[in-house]
Amino acid sequence: MKILQLTNKIPYPPKDGGSIATLNISMGLHSLGHEITLLGMNTSKHYFDMKDLPEMLKSRIDIRDVRVDTKISFTAAFKNLVFSSLPYNAERFFNKDFTHTLINLLQEKDFDVVQLEGLYMAWYINIIRKYSKALIALRAHNIEHEIWQRVAMQERSFLKKIYFRILARRIKKFKLRILNTYDLLLPITRRDASHYFELGNTRPAFVVPAGYDISRFNPDSVEINFPGIFFIGTLDWFPNQEGIVWFLDKVWEKLLNMNPGLEFHVAGRNAPVWLEEKLKSKEGLIYYGEIDDAYAFIARNAIMVAPLFSGSGMRVKIIEGMALGKTIVTTTIGAEGIPVSDGINIIIEDDPDHFVQKIDLLIKNKELFDDIGNNAVEFVSQHFDNHKISVCLADFYKKHIEKKC
């Protein structure tokens, strides 16, 4: 099959959940003998110099980019709020240069499937219909309007709370507008699939989570810094900011008092100045900023905390941590969409005092830490093997291509 992926950012380097989910399925499908082309927006926020793409990747996937300015502008956001019914988040991703490049690409290659990575790529469905006979598959990475509903609930500023509520309503309307205009639906979790069916999806659906090459994860290859606690995540994403601040304000000091000398290792890119200052001011906290090798960072540390109270979809870093045998302590929303078992392969806790107690228990009980970590490795092997996911997705595509013929 010839498959085209459309993305709102270049998924390299794969440092965030969306990029990991996008690039891993590209590589998985390529490994099965399918021809993969990827057309991505090269934005200022996630800009990547295409000359730096590794030869290994370029030899497997035909990756092309279009420079697109998606900077958030107060003026543009205000105009959108007053004069448009569309969500500003979506409107930023409709671009004439990207449209023109897409048309040329559709005329250059005869694709069997066009896979849209994320809701906002649905802008281009009408263009694809006009210039291609390919099946269109929407890969829903999360429930976008739910993210902003949850952000609004946590927001203290009255004006921001109102704006986020308006944004959430508009995103939901946009989703309803594009519902069933695609041919196939690829939710990233079963929970997200249920959401789309509740909205009225009638198209065939197949759940495609972020998969991993299980063979490259070796939990026993690195000596771990037990009981070192760690956090890793993009720090310009509001749910991560909210979660890390909650942990610092309500958990860390109590935990440190119970365990003098305990270290908290924090890694993540694009932290705003106010957050960097807060991180650097905390006793026992070691702040790394952006790191080159997330795999090595996760592997050498022990207890991973992932406190999340907003956001949606699937938390890819949690799956990475589990694959490397880490015991993850997260919240209900953090574990959402992942079919984990509390106390067996992960620990889930929303109350800050109980969060402290669960981490303290792990610190004092290495055997419990090892048991949960070993169960986590087995869990990822069963549910998130990229080869298995890619084989099933390719079969799903072939079945519906044959139906169309």
SS (H, E, C) 330-360: ECHHHHCCCCCCECCCEEECCCHHHHHHHHH
For residue 167, pLDDT beyond 90:
no
Say if strands 2-7 and 35-43 run parallel, antiparallel, or are unpaired: parallel
Distance from the Cα of residue 143 to its chain's centroid: 11
Predicted local distance difference test score (pLDDT) of residue 82 = 66
For residue 74, pLDDT beyond 80:
no
For residue 73, pLDDT beyond 80:
no
Of 19, 383, 60, whose CA–CA distance to 214 is shortest?
383
Predicted local distance difference test score (pLDDT) of residue 321 = 93
Rg (CA), the chain: 21
For residue 111, pLDDT beyond 70:
yes
Pick the more confident residue, 229 or 162. 229
Q: For the chain, where do the domains classified as CATH 3.40.50.2000 start and end?
A: 2-211+385-404, 214-383
Residue 227: cis peptide before it, omega within 30 degrees of 0: yes
Rounded Cα gap, residues 244 and 110, in angstroms: 47
The mean pLDDT value for 108-119 works out to 96
Predicted local distance difference test score (pLDDT) of residue 78 = 61
The mean pLDDT value for 295-318 works out to 88
Pick the more confident residue, 11 or 148. 11
The mean pLDDT value for 286-305 works out to 93
- Three-class SS of 106-169: HHHCCCCEEEEECHHHHHHHHHHHHHCCCEEEEEECCCHHHHHHHHHHHCCCHHHHHHHHHHHH
Q: Which of 78-92, 345-359, 367-381 is least confident?
A: 78-92
Predicted local distance difference test score (pLDDT) of residue 35 = 98
For residue 64, pLDDT beyond 70:
yes
CATH 2.40.30.10, applies to 214-383: no
The mean pLDDT value for 299-311 works out to 91
Of 368, 226, 362, whose CA–CA distance to 302 is shortest?
226
Pick the more confident residue, 116 or 163. 116
The mean pLDDT value for 350-361 works out to 97
What is the phi/psi pair of residue 41, to 5°?
-80, 130
For residue 219, pLDDT beyond 70:
no
For residue 262, pLDDT beyond 90:
yes
What is the phi/psi pair of residue 166, to 5°?
-65, -45
Of all residues in the chain, the percent with pLDDT exceeding 70 is 94
Residues in the chain: 405
**Which of the four CATH numbers 3.40.50.2020, 3.40.50.300, 3.40.50.2000, 3.10.20.30 does domain 2-211+385-404 have?**
3.40.50.2000
Got the DSSP string for 25-93?
HHHHHHHTT-EEEEEEEEESTT---GGGS-HHHHTTEEEEEEEE-----HHHHHHHHHH-SS-HHHHTT
